[in-house]
Structure 1
């Protein structure tokens, strides 16, 4: 794989990369419409492929928050054309790695020693490179280790990158700036947390120990003495990322076991710990033929406030939507409805969010859910696509939905997407108070 010898760190250099990407995208549109004059039936598939490649190339050189945005977008398969989500998936675990001299420089900055002086052996060639950092293999006292090294300058560039990238996001996602601005603070705070490996070290130890009792999950041991603000060292875990794992044609039994472990992992974090590994993309899980799964990377953790938790999950119970007064109260609390809404607006958005809630909460309404049912996901993606075209949403003077929902919803979206790729049938465990009494009476 081609290595990268430097990362643009100044605002001017990083802005130039975004500008370069924008110019290439503009050129691709010109090329597309020139061809369309000759062939009026020409689709946008080639345009999407060219734009996706040019944007990814620019973001992959920037690393950090820019590449992280591509990673996040790759999870939203209903939000972007397939060409974008397929290309941006590379940001999950196969971005261009940094060259050896930059890695050595990072070690000397934080330890005053080279990696060769700290470890018995250290492989200078990265085995995995993603958005915030890359992973190297090392050995110490007979133990095989994974050493994550953060790309230089990414922590300092988070805020400026988000400001520079906003126009590109507006164009790609067809969103207005008000909607993006509403959540920018939440995204910025989480990205800043992800660049703090000392915080990640503490959270990794805390959450992995709390979840150690869950069946089928494997967590690495972490080593504070070989970790710092920009370097994180842990045990090496064997296993395959999701797509490589699926190529081995695992049995349905193994798929279901891994799927159940995923569900139980998130169920326990959300309902017991009230904080959750909020980055459920395939690059953070290592799957094995025996149905066990390694869990890595606790850089993005969402602490769920009690007020949001109580309202969000009360809404997930199907019985709640049968109570108009309680539903309206929760919609107000979650900021789906606002004091500025007219009676017409309240009716429209109440119906819209009731439909959305029923759809996304379907797995909670039953004891067992087949995530291999593609018709369910086709319905969800079609609904999401329809939302982007609704004039009532596009022209709304307020952004809707609590900022706390951004990462909670993303967590469930990522979880559902992985379970769908696994084609897993899962027992959807949940707190007893989340079970519908009316459905239970029927069955």
Structure 2
């Protein structure tokens, strides 16, 4: 993969890139419909593949929030065609890296020194390049370190990037503008936090300390004195990402062990800390040679306020869902049902959301759950396909916290499905004291 010599950082440069990509996508549609004149039965596979390549290549060059959106969409397998998911999932593991000279300039600008003056050794070739930054291996005093360096201009371009992403999102997702704005405003808030590396270091230390007694999980040590607002230095963790791990044909016993560690990691945070690592894409985890789960990124944290946590998790962990009036009260607190709704609309949304909550809650409904069975995911995808065709769901419904909580839990479910793991689900349960 050829290194990038520069990243478009100004609003004009990044806007021009989006415009160029828009023309490419438009050209793909013209080509597709021209072919369809002669072959009315032609499906959209080639069109989706061409568009996915053009859009992903553009986002890869822009990096930052633009590429982060691709990463997030790649996890929502019931939203996008498979061609987009396959292409965008590259951003979970490896995007085109920056060149060595640009890394040195970025490091010097943000840290005041070139890396070789701080570390005993520093590899200019990145070991991993993703959406917000890339990771380099270094050594100091005999320790092997991971140094994460943020791409230039990422934080400054978030708001303008998300405005530029809107036309693609309208076309791909079919959301109303109001619904899309709710989504984008919440995403912008989280992305701004992700570009604050001082905050990430503090959270990484806090969360790794809080979770240190969980079974079969390891965290790197962080070094605030070697970190800054655009640089994070931590211990290097050896291990395999999920795709690499699964290619080794691990035993089901080991997959269950890793899956249990993931389940406990997420549910301990949600129910004991009321805040959660909200970026469950596989690139943020490693399976170490000691067969433990390594967690290597705490950039995205979602806090769960009581006025969301209590009504939401009471629906999935108590008998509330079996009482219509209590369920409606929870739905109103979560803004899933409005005071302006007619009785017919209330009944419609009650039926629809009750079905969704009952699907979400299935892993919590018994002491163990087998995530290998495709029926559970078939039901989730079928529900997504169904509501996508219903006009009533083109308007904004639900408080903003749903965006990252749903992403977190369904992302977790997907990884557990990839592991074909059977999990003890009663280790950390919702509680309201």
**Which SS does the other structure have where 1:280 is aligned?**
coil
- The one-character-per-residue Cα deviations of 1:105-124 (angstroms, maximum 9, x if unpaired) are 12211221100111000000
Aligned to 2:306: 306
**Which SS does the other structure have where 2:68 is aligned?**
helix
Aligned to 2:392: 392
Q: Which runs of 5+ in 1 are unaligned?
A: 436-443
Q: How does 1:25-40 map to 2 (within 5 A)?
A: 25-40=25-40
**Which SS does the other structure have where 2:423 is aligned?**
strand
2:420 is the counterpart of 1:423: yes
**Which SS does the other structure have where 1:164 is aligned?**
helix
Determine if contact 1:267/1:429 at 8 Å carries over to the other structure.
no
Distance in 1, matches of 2:131 and 2:111, equals 23
Distance in 1, matches of 2:318 and 2:73, equals 30
Q: How does 1:28-427 map to 2 (within 5 A)?
A: 28-288=28-288, 290-317=290-317, 319-394=319-394, 396=395, 399-427=396-424
Determine if contact 1:318/1:365 at 8 Å carries over to the other structure.
no
**Which SS does the other structure have where 1:146 is aligned?**
strand
Distance in 1, matches of 2:425 and 2:82, equals 29
TM-aligned CA deviation for residue 33 of structure 1: 1.1
- The one-character-per-residue Cα deviations of 1:272-317 (angstroms, maximum 9, x if unpaired) are 1111100000000001355311001100000110111111100112
TM-aligned CA deviation for residue 383 of structure 1: 0.9
Give the number of aligned pairs: 432
Determine if contact 2:60/2:95 at 8 Å carries over to the other structure.
yes
Aligned to 1:440: none
TM-aligned CA deviation for residue 167 of structure 1: 1.4
Determine if contact 2:134/2:150 at 8 Å carries over to the other structure.
yes
Distance in 1, matches of 2:387 and 2:79, equals 10
Distance in 2, matches of 1:117 and 1:253, equals 46
Aligned to 1:11: 11
- The one-character-per-residue Cα deviations of 1:205-249 (angstroms, maximum 9, x if unpaired) are 000011000110010000111100000000000111111110000
- Say if 1:432 and 1:419 are closer, same or farther in 2 by CA, change over 3 A: closer
TM-aligned CA deviation for residue 318 of structure 1: 5.5
Distance in 1, matches of 2:86 and 2:203, equals 31
Distance in 2, matches of 1:97 and 1:144, equals 21
TM-aligned CA deviation for residue 434 of structure 1: 6.4
- The one-character-per-residue Cα deviations of 1:69-126 (angstroms, maximum 9, x if unpaired) are 0000000011100110111011112100011111111221122110011100000000
Determine if contact 2:264/2:428 at 8 Å carries over to the other structure.
no
Q: TM-score, normalised by structure 1?
A: 0.96
Distance in 2, matches of 1:433 and 1:102, equals 47
**Which SS does the other structure have where 2:147 is aligned?**
strand
Q: Which has the higher mean CA deviation after the structures are superposed, 34-43 or 265-274? A: 34-43
Distance in 1, matches of 2:41 and 2:429, equals 55
Q: Which has the higher mean CA deviation after the structures are superposed, 248-257 or 303-312? A: 303-312
Q: Cα RMSD (Å) of the superposition?
A: 1.3
**Which SS does the other structure have where 2:5 is aligned?**
coil
Q: TM-score, normalised by structure 2?
A: 0.98
Determine if contact 2:271/2:430 at 8 Å carries over to the other structure.
no
**Which SS does the other structure have where 1:88 is aligned?**
helix
Distance in 2, matches of 1:432 and 1:298, equals 22
Determine if contact 1:254/1:291 at 8 Å carries over to the other structure.
yes
Aligned to 1:439: none
Determine if contact 2:9/2:157 at 8 Å carries over to the other structure.
yes
Determine if contact 2:194/2:200 at 8 Å carries over to the other structure.
yes
Distance in 2, matches of 1:407 and 1:433, equals 18
Q: Which runs of 5+ in 2 are unaligned?
A: none
Aligned to 1:438: none
